[in-house]
């Protein structure tokens, strides 16, 4: 089961998820100056980061938008990045946030759980209900995993996610309970389901409520670093054991900026991963 593998990876390597949301401006000068396509440069950047951080990263997350924006060259870099992470024995989350139903969702599942773009996990928007989630179930039974949006880290998430329902419960709380219910059929040896949840670190009080509603759920936690979340915030979530991975993208993969523009940039990124890992673990 994928979530068992992720749980074990986090126990061994720590809870840092390195976000490979790579953009041209993040590249060190030595790469920008190469006579390569932009996609080739992005992949080389990602490859060096994976090699440097493999011992300190619990997993990697690749945001497809950064690659889609570059057309076929970018999507080649995306595919090669996913394949490279997995070839190194590491787990990768494809951050695709799909949210459709029926045969369309089945095609998304096929497209991102098999073939050129195969990942271990994907992100999915389940706010259309179980019809947007169930087309992935066959892949979950075969060991893949997914993270459903529950409470996102952006400021305007409250526009809809915090709307009150009858009885005083908020919408995101009802979504949390539904996602937990859908995941019950896919709980592995770790006690966590192959259906995880995306919950932002920017709302620590709400996170405590969500965690109480989702006892078998492993979390993908954005909001650390650039968005204001800290290791101390995570300690409140992990107080009775690590139950998620904490993603940082820009805060890690631009760590070399102002320090080096050479091939040793990856060491700055690895040091940033170590610092983040220590910041989280010191509070546990």
Cα-Cα-Cα-Cα dihedral of 95, 267, 234, 243, to 10°?
60
- What is the structure's pLDDT at 101? 92
- What is the structure's pLDDT at 250? 94
pTM greater than 0.75 (yes/no): yes
Could you please report the per-residue DSSP string of the chain?
-HHHHHHHHHHHH-SEEEE----GGGS-HHHHTSSS-HHHHHHHHHHHHHHHHTTT-SEEEEETHHHHTTHHHHHHHHHHHHHHHHHTT--EEEEEEE---HHHHHHHHHHHHSGGG--SEEEE--TT-GGGTGGGHHHHHTT-EEEEEEE-SSGGGHHHHT-B-TTS-BHHHHHHHHHHHHHGGGB-TTS-BSEEEEE-TT-HHHHHHHHHH-TT--EEE--BGGGSB-HHHHHHHSTTS--EEEEESHHHHTTTTTT--STTHHHHHHHHHHHHHHHHHTT-
The one catalytic residue in 48, 88, 90, 97 is 97
Cα-Cα-Cα-Cα dihedral of 208, 214, 217, 220, to 10°?
-40
Closest to 273 measured CA to CA, from 249, 257, 244, 239: 249
Closest to 41 measured CA to CA, from 17, 18, 66: 66
- What is the structure's pLDDT at 133? 97
> d(Cα 64, Cα 111) in Å, to the nearest integer?
13
Per-residue pLDDT of the chain (284 residues; tens, 9 = 90+): 689 999 999 999 999 999 999 999 999 999 999 999 999 999 999 999 999 999 999 999 999 999 999 999 999 999 999 999 999 999 999 999 999 998 999 999 999 999 999 999 999 999 999 999 999 999 999 999 999 999 998 889 999 999 999 989 999 999 999 999 999 999 999 999 999 999 999 888 899 999 999 999 999 999 887 677 888 889 889 988 999 999 999 999 999 999 999 999 999 999 999 999 999 999 88
Closest to 108 measured CA to CA, from 73, 152, 146, 82: 146
Q: Is 177 a catalytic residue?
A: no
């Amino acid at each position: 089961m994928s979530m068992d593998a992720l749980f074990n990876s986090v126990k061994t390597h720590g809870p840092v998820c390195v976000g490979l949301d790579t953009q041209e401006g993040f590249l060190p000068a030595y790469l920008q100056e190469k006579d390569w396509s932009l996609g080739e440069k992005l992949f080389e950047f990602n490859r060096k980061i994976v090699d440097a951080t493999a011992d300190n990263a619990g997993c990697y997350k690749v945001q497809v938008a950064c690659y889609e924006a570059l057309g076929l060259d970018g999507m080649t870099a995306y595919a090669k990045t996913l394949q490279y992470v997995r070839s190194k024995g590491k787990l990768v989350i494809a951050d695709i946030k799909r949210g459709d139903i029926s045969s369309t969702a089945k095609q998304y599942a096929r497209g991102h759980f098999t073939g050129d773009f195969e990942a271990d996990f994907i992100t999915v928007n389940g706010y259309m209900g179980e019809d947007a989630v169930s087309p992935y179930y066959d892949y979950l039974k075969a060991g893949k995993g997914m993270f459903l949006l529950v409470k996102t880290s952006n400021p305007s998430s409250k526009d809809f996610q915090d709307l009150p329902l009858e009885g005083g419960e908020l919408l995101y709380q009802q979504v949390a309970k539904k996602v937990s219910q859908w995941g019950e059929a896919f709980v592995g040896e770790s006690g966590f389901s192959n259906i995880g949840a995306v919950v932002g670190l920017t709302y620590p009080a709400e996170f405590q409520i969500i965690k109480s509603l989702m006892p078998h759920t492993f979390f993908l936690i954005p909001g650390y670093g650039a968005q204001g979340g800290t290791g101390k915030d995570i300690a409140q979530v992990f107080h009775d054991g690590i139950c998620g991975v904490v993603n940082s993208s820009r805060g890690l993969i631009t760590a070399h900026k102002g320090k080096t523009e050479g091939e040793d940039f990856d060491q700055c990124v690895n040091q940033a991963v170590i610092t983040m890992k220590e910041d989280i673990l010191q509070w546990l």
